[in-house]
């Protein structure tokens, strides 16, 4: 903590991992001697830079850009870019740290990184977003590459932003390589990448439910967020026979007891991805309830937090449990506070941490990298089958390292399974 003052989110993420990994290290002294955990908690490299750009009024605006190159023991740095006014060093370091374990869990050869900017795309014109992305990539391009560091999207960075950044990278380097993932399908993107995090989260939850003798069929589900992850989580829950009753954005949540079916979800996709409007418009159109705040007061079997970090606290966890909660699978990164996680685990609710349950996105990004290297495109069915297989193997890894007398501790399982591969690689590579 003394080394990283003013970084509460980063410390929170490290503490959560340390709690389960330290006892494992005590049993395996080779990791202790080589100070593996201490080294994993220190980024290999942090890059911070100025991003000047011109707004539509002709004025100069200045944002701050970041790339955290956290760990390259098992492959090139890999992790998303976040554009949101809340972005700071602490948040990106927590995300990069989580990414190392998550990427290891996918079984694919990718190291961990994260980056972004405090730029707020909300309310900006397409031209402003383009000028910002070009300026951001002008500096970032010096530090990334298809075999070095391959960024992707995250909050505030979707297909539009990836396209502008890819265009600028290509122009600067004069090379067409797989330096970013989440690209459009016409220029090197992978089918199923947009769907992958949301679908993967639901696949993981389905595995977890199945092991406990349940399924999505007939279950009511609360989802938070209405962005990329939330939309495709909703689509997959519908497909598996569940009923999604909430979605949200930073202004509040909709509560539709009839369920957000395919047609209504299409309205949300158009509203959020094209018109860039607010979720309240759904309530106006379909005549359901709209409330300010977060959707955790409703009565559901399954909760899928898919918006942002620390969006579900202890009180909300108790409320969900007092209703009839059976399972939580995190689509977002660290959406449940440590106190909320404790409530779930103590009350026997099945709980999947994001580094396991939202790993489908980065896994499919790695599949996009493979296709780029091979100069081939796989079909939807092929990619979806691989994604499903990967989520199943992540679930198995969690069970292997997390099985206890009272069921599976998915936090412990994910942390240790993710740790072992990175730690062994670091041991083999010496003190670097
Ligand atoms: P999007 O930008 O597409 O959507 C984010 C959603 O969350 C929006 O509905 C947004 O509402 C809401 N939100 C964001 N910040 C806040 C906040 N501070 N308070 C309340 N609501 C908020 O992002 P994604 O769907 O891509 O990402 C969502 C989460 O999933 C993040 O934690 C991300 O790190 C994680 N994730 C994403 C992956 C991906 O492949 N995209 C992969 C793995 C994890 P509003 O529109 O009002 O801002």
Closest residue by CA, ligand 1 atom 22: 250
Q: Which pLDDT value is given to residue 432?
A: 84
Q: Which pLDDT value is given to residue 1?
A: 74
| Cα–Cα dist 361/366, whole Å | 9
Closest residue by CA, ligand 1 atom 37: 154
Cα–ligand 1 centroid distance for 309 (angstroms): 9
**What is the atom index within ligand 1 of the atom nearest the CA of 334?**
32
Helix, strand, or coil here: 408? strand
- Please check if 197 is assigned to a binding site: yes
Q: Which residues pair with 69 in a beta bridge?
A: 45, 113
Closest residue by CA, ligand 1 atom 11: 249
* Phi-psi label, residue 343: left if phi above 0, alpha if psi -120 to 50, beta otherwise: alpha
Q: How far apart are the first and last CA of the chain?
A: 23
**What is the atom index within ligand 1 of the atom nearest the CA of 182?**
40
3 is an active site residue? no
CATH architecture of 44-176: 3-Layer(aba) Sandwich (3.40)
Mutate-to-test residue for ligand 1 from 13, 93, 249, highest number of ligand atoms within 8 A of CB: 249
Residues contacting ligand 1 via CB (< 6 Å): 153-156, 158, 197, 225-230, 249-250, 306-308, 331-333, 358, 361
Q: Which pLDDT value is given to residue 275?
A: 95
| Cα–Cα dist 103/77, whole Å | 10
Asked if 114 and 70 count as a contact pair (C-beta separation under 8 A), the reply is yes
- Please check if 319 is assigned to a binding site: no
All structural domains of the chain with their residue ranges: 44-176, 194-347
Cα–ligand 1 centroid distance for 231 (angstroms): 11
Asked if 313 and 340 count as a contact pair (C-beta separation under 8 A), the reply is yes
Asked if 289 and 283 count as a contact pair (C-beta separation under 8 A), the reply is yes
CATH for 194-347, options being 3.60.40.10, 3.30.565.10, 3.40.50.720, 3.40.190.10: 3.40.50.720
**What is the atom index within ligand 1 of the atom nearest the CA of 354?**
44
As given in the structure block, the two tokens for residue 328 are 């939580």
Tens of each residue's pLDDT in the chain, 432 residues:
788 889 999 999 999 999 999 999 999 999 999 999 999 999 999 999 999 999 999 999 999 999 999 999 999 999 999 999 999 999 999 999 999 999 999 999 999 999 999 999 999 999 999 999 999 999 999 999 999 999 999 999 999 999 999 999 999 999 999 999 999 999 999 999 999 999 999 999 999 999 999 999 999 999 999 999 999 999 999 999 999 999 999 999 999 999 999 999 999 999 999 999 999 999 999 999 999 999 999 999 999 999 999 999 999 999 999 999 999 999 999 999 999 999 999 999 999 999 999 999 999 999 999 999 999 999 999 999 999 999 999 999 999 999 999 899 999 999 999 999 999 999 999 998
Q: Which pLDDT value is given to residue 223?
A: 98
Cα–ligand 1 centroid distance for 354 (angstroms): 13
Q: Which pLDDT value is given to residue 3?
A: 86
- Please check if 12 is assigned to a binding site: no
As given in the structure block, the two tokens for residue 5 are 């003052």
Shared fold status for 44-176 and 194-347: yes
| Cα–Cα dist 331/248, whole Å | 14
**What is the atom index within ligand 1 of the atom nearest the CA of 358?**
43
- Helices 410-428 & 8-27 angle (0-180, nearest 10): 80
Eight-state DSSP code of residue 68: E
Q: Write down the catalytic residue from 3, 33, 35, 114.
A: 114
**What is the atom index within ligand 1 of the atom nearest the CA of 361?**
40
Mutate-to-test residue for ligand 1 from 80, 91, 154, highest number of ligand atoms within 8 A of CB: 154
Pairing of strands 77-83, 112-117: parallel
- Please check if 219 is assigned to a binding site: no
**Closest residue by Cα to residue 407 from 340, 355, 347:** 347
Closest residue by CA, ligand 1 atom 7: 307
DSSP 280-312: HHHHHHHT-EEESS-GGGS--SEEEE-S-TT-B
Q: What angle do CA 332, 333, 334 make, to 5 degrees?
A: 115
Closest residue by CA, ligand 1 atom 17: 250
Q: Tokens 């399974």 belong to which residue?
A: 417
Question: In sequence order, which residues have a C-beta less than 8 Å from that of residue 68 and are 6 or more positions away?
Answer: 43, 45, 46, 47, 92, 93, 95, 96, 113, 114, 115
Q: Which pLDDT value is given to residue 204?
A: 98
Mutate-to-test residue for ligand 1 from 105, 152, 229, highest number of ligand atoms within 8 A of CB: 229
**Closest residue by Cα to residue 40 from 8, 17, 66:** 17
| Cα–Cα dist 355/289, whole Å | 32
ipTM over 0.90: yes
């Amino acid at each position: 903590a003394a080394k990283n003052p003013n970084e509460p989110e980063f410390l929170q993420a490290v503490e959560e991992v340390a709690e389960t990994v330290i006892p494992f290290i005590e049993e395996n002294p080779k990791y202790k001697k080589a100070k593996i955990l201490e080294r994993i908690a220190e980024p290999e490299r942090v890059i911070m830079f100025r991003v000047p750009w011109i707004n539509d009024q002709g004025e100069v605006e200045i944002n701050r850009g970041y790339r955290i190159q956290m760990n390259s023991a098992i492959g090139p740095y890999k992790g998303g870019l976040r554009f949101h006014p809340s972005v700071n060093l602490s948040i990106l370091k927590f995300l990069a740290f989580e990414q190392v374990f998550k990427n290891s869990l996918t079984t694919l050869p990718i190291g961990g990184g994260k980056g972004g900017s405090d730029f707020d795309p909300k309310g900006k014109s397409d031209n402003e977003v383009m000028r910002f992305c070009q300026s951001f990539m002008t500096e970032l391009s010096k530090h990334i590459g298809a075999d070095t560091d391959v960024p992707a999207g995250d909050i505030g960075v979707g297909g539009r932003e990836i396209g502008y950044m890819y265009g600028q990278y290509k122009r600067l380097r004069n090379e067409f390589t797989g330096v970013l993932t989440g690209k459009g399908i016409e220029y090197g993107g992978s089918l199923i990448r947009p769907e992958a995090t949301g679908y993967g989260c639901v696949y993981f939850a389905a595995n977890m439910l199945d092991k406990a003798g349940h399924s999505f069929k007939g279950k009511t589900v609360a989802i938070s967020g209405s962005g990329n992850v939330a939309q495709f989580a909703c689509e997959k829950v519908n497909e598996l026979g569940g009923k999604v009753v909430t979605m949200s954005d930073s202004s509040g949540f909709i509560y539709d007891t009839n369920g957000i079916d395919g047609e209504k979800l299409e309205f949300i996709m158009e509203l959020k991805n094209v018109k860039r409007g607010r979720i309240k418009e759904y309530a106006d159109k379909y005549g359901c309830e709209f409330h300010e705040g977060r959707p955790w007061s409703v009565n559901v079997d399954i909760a899928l937090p898919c918006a942002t970090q620390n969006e579900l606290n202890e009180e909300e966890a108790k409320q969900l449990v007092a209703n009839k909660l059976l399972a939580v699978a995190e689509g977002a990164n660290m959406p449940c506070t440590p106190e909320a996680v404790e409530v779930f685990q103590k009350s026997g609710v099945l709980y999947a941490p994001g580094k396991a349950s939202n790993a489908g996105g980065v896994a499919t990004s790695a599949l996009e990298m493979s296709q780029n290297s091979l100069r081939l495109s796989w079909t939807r069915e092929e990619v979806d089958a691989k994604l499903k297989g990967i989520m199943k193997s992540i679930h198995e890894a969690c069970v292997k390292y997390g099985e206890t007398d009272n069921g599976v501790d998915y936090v412990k399982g994910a942390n240790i399974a993710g740790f072992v591969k990175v730690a062994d690689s670091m041991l083999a590579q010496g003190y670097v």
